Amino acid sequence: MSEAKQRSGSGAIETNTAEDAEFRAEARAWLDANATLRRVDADEFKRRWAATKTDPVEERAHADLCKVWQRRIFDAGFAGIAVPREYGGRGGTRNQHRIWQQESRRYDIDTGLFSVGHGMVLPTILAHGTEWQKERFVRAMLRGDEVWCQLFSEPGAGSDLAGLTTRAERDGDEWVVNGQKVWNSYAHVADYGILLTRTNWDVPKHRGITYFLVDMHSPGLEVRPLRQMTGVAHFNETFLSDVRIPDAHVLGGVDNGWAVAQTTLMNERDLIGGAGGSGGGFRDLVEMASHFACAGDARIRQQLAASFTRTKILEFLGRRTRAALAAGKVPGPEVSVMKLAVSEHLALNGDLMMAMQGPHGMLYEGDAYEHGYWQQQFLGQWSVRLGGGTEQIQRNVLGERVLGLPPEPRPDKTEPFKDLPRN
């Protein structure tokens, strides 16, 4: 099989097969004919991200536009590139999926509303779903018919996700769910959600959890937006009061939800790590240094060099994860390495971008550089750093599963959940 070298959308040189080179050319041709190249300056993309308020009408219009774009991508054969054809995908390779990501992000296409569905839900359903679930949900997801959200975190559980107390009780061929979830991205515009519940209180906490696919329009389900310090409200809290879910919507088996959730969480960490956690790149930081005339400052130059180094390390970590996926391996602790590296990268880049702006960093919205886009990036870093598992959680994973360090004594892992003290 012959090989060809192609320059990716991120500027990196990658060696692909002849089939991959042909696929890249096909993707570029379609994108050139159907989309507009993203501008480098403060364009509509940055203005949208710099928004400090949420207008429900505009938000719904944006959601509808995302659905239109996703349907066009699906009809063109570029949705679910590595998903089997029988479920609506292209039946291609993971490397071709990566090529599409590289090429499409150069264009003014916004399908981020589907990030939870495509990046986290889809691989989980493919790995654990019944044949009916795959046929019912995967094609609709790829086509852009349905938006998904994640209903995992709870106010009383904190970082200890397995300490959740949302209760699901069987009633014939249905389950009745009561509880509260929080930090649910896009839940207010979602059609379906992935939901973790407690179904067995007589076993240790990790063994009594069940994973559901829930219709977000179900009676008894209420979504309330949470306004963040950035001013926007894409996070939500979700209340479930006697919500009925069909037994056919259990994913992966009753009381086996923790194992299913691990697939979701590993893919979430890969999703966050693969995106670098931020909408801004190294070139943007260099342009900022030039704009604020601080590129000659020795300390700034050192921090820029360190940022570039971290950027390349993240790129290599991403390639390692993709290589494991291409070999048919389930994402493992390596994605925790990448997630932790992303968190530290965001923290250091946030300090750097504020240092370069100096007193201008206190400005906001239209008064600030690039409409306050970078202030939003600085304030928004904690949602990325906390999402998918905090830095402390990632260090625990790496310490126990990679370095082989003894875990701390945890009687809560072996005692029945009903006997554990709770908030």
Question: Which amino acids are annotated catalytic?
Answer: 268
Give dist(CA 78, CA 97) in Å, integer.
8
Alpha helices for 55-138 (secondary structure H): 56-75, 94-104, 115-116, 122-128, 131-133
| φ/ψ (deg, to 5) at 180 | -140, 140
| CA dihedral over 266, 197, 223, 158, signed as positive or negative | negative
Instruction: Characterize the bridge pairing of strands 235-246 and 174-182.
Output: antiparallel
- At 28, the amino acid letter reads R
Beta bridge partners of 176: 169, 244
Give dist(CA 315, CA 312) in Å, integer.
5
* Three-class SS of 341-353: HHHHHHHHHHHHH
Give dist(CA 113, CA 380) in Å, integer.
17
Give dist(CA 219, CA 110) in Å, integer.
31
DSSP 153-207: --TTTTT-GGG---EEEEETTEEEEEEEEE--TTGGG-SEEEEEEE--SSS-GGG
Q: Count other Cβ atoms within 10 Å, centred on residue 392.
A: 10
Task: Please calculate the CA angle 311-315-319 and round it to the nearest 5 degrees.
Answer: 170
Q: Pseudo-torsion of CA 403, 405, 409, 415, nearest 10°?
A: 50
265: left (phi over 0), alpha (psi -120 to 50) or beta: alpha
- Of 200, 209, 70, the C-alpha closest to 144 is 70
How buried is 140 (Cβ within 10 angstroms: 0-12 exposed, 13-18 middle, 19+ buried)? Answer: middle
Q: Count other Cβ atoms within 10 Å, centred on residue 195.
A: 30
